């Protein structure tokens, strides 16, 4: 990674890794599962509650069930050991580019939904959708992490600017329901804003 021009920080345990993430601005995490103390799966779970950092698992645990468990925690990729270093470099580059491209385009699009971040406008099937400022911000946050599952805590922080708020969970839930009424063909069976039980919400790629 250093040979490819990346600044690299390392830690040898789950606890050290979480502290490193808390104290530094991290763009991407390469994470093992078999760590002393807190294992990689739990580290990933804790990261995804409060951060928008992409995670790639690198692990010698190569059963399909291990891969599924890793991806279910919210990781973007899973590479089995031993791996080709060039392949890893390409996957890292592709993942970082994917997160950068949305901000560069000035628009986020999925299916018939278009979020014009350059003008703070939303269109569905070419028709402008009238949203409140909070509804727009909430949709923009979901769109910036397209197909990512974001917890209600993250949405509360990013859309409202609050770390904590009594009733915050319900506030997010109510505004998600309002958004669905405005952009979903059938709000009772959403295809754009999906709920992941016990984890949060995502704006799906269609």
Q: Is 29 within 8 Å of 54 (Cβ atoms)?
A: yes
Residue 177 pLDDT: 93
Query: What is the per-residue pLDDT across 43-96, written as a single tens digit (0 to 9) for each?
Result: 988 887 666 678 899 988 877 787 888 777 778 788 888 888 888 998 898 777
Exposure string of 113-151, with b = 16+ CB inside 10 Å and e = fewer, is bbbbbeeeebbbeeeebebeeebbbbbbbbbbbbebbbb
Range 176-199 average pLDDT: 93
Neighbouring residues of 10: CB distance < 8 A, sequence distance ≥ 6: none
Q: How confident is the model at residue 168 (pLDDT cuts 50, 70, 90)?
A: confident
Residue 93 pLDDT: 86
Show the domains of the chain with their CATH numbers: 14-102 (3.40.50.2300), 106-203 (1.10.10.10)
Range 135-148 average pLDDT: 90
Neighbouring residues of 149: CB distance < 8 A, sequence distance ≥ 6: 48, 74, 196, 199, 200, 201, 202
Q: What mean pLDDT value characterizes the chain?
A: 85
CA–CA gap between residue 122 and residue 140 (Å, rounded): 9
pTM of the model: 0.53
What does the angle CA 31 – CA 200 – CA 107 come to, to the nearest 5 degrees? Answer: 85
């Amino acid at each position: 990674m250093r040979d490819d021009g990346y600044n690299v920080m390392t830690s040898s345990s789950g606890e050290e890794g979480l502290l490193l993430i808390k104290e530094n601005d991290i763009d991407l995490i390469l994470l093992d599962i078999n760590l002393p103390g807190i294992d990689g799966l739990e580290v990933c779970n804790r990261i995804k509650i409060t951060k928008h950092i992409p995670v790639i698992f690198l692990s010698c645990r190569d059963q399909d069930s291990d891969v599924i468990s890793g991806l279910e925690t919210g990781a973007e990729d899973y590479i089995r050991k031993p791996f080709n270093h060039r392949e890893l470099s390409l996957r890292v580059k592709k993942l970082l580019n994917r997160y950068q491209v949305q901000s560069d385009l000035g628009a986020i699009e999925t299916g018939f939904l278009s979020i014009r971040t350059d003008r703070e406008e939303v269109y569905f099937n070419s028709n402008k959708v009238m949203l409140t400022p909070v509804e727009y911000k909430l949709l923009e946050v979901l769109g910036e992490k397209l197909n990512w599952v974001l917890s209600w805590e993250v949405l509360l922080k990013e859309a409202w600017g609050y770390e904590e708020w009594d009733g915050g969970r319900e506030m997010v839930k109510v505004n998600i329901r309002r958004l669905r009424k405005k952009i979903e063909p059938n709000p009772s069976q959403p295809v754009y804003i999906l709920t992941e039980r016990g984890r949060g919400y995502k704006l799906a790629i269609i």
